[in-house]
Amino acid sequence: MRSYYKVTAINGDQITVADQNDNTINVSKNILEKMVSGDHFEKELSMNKTELAEFLETLSDNVFTICFHKQPTVDSGIEVFKNVDIKDLSDQKKVNELVKKLTTGSECTMVCYLVDAENNLGRSTVIDLNAHGNKFR
Domain boundaries, the chain: 1-35, 74-103
Residue 123 DSSP symbol: E
- Asked if residues 63 and 38 have their Cβ atoms less than 8 Å apart, the reply is yes
Hey, is 111 helix, strand or coil? strand
- pTM of whole model > 0.95? no
Of all residues in the chain, the percent with pLDDT exceeding 90 is 11
Indicate whether 69 pLDDT > 80.
yes
Indicate whether 119 pLDDT > 70.
no
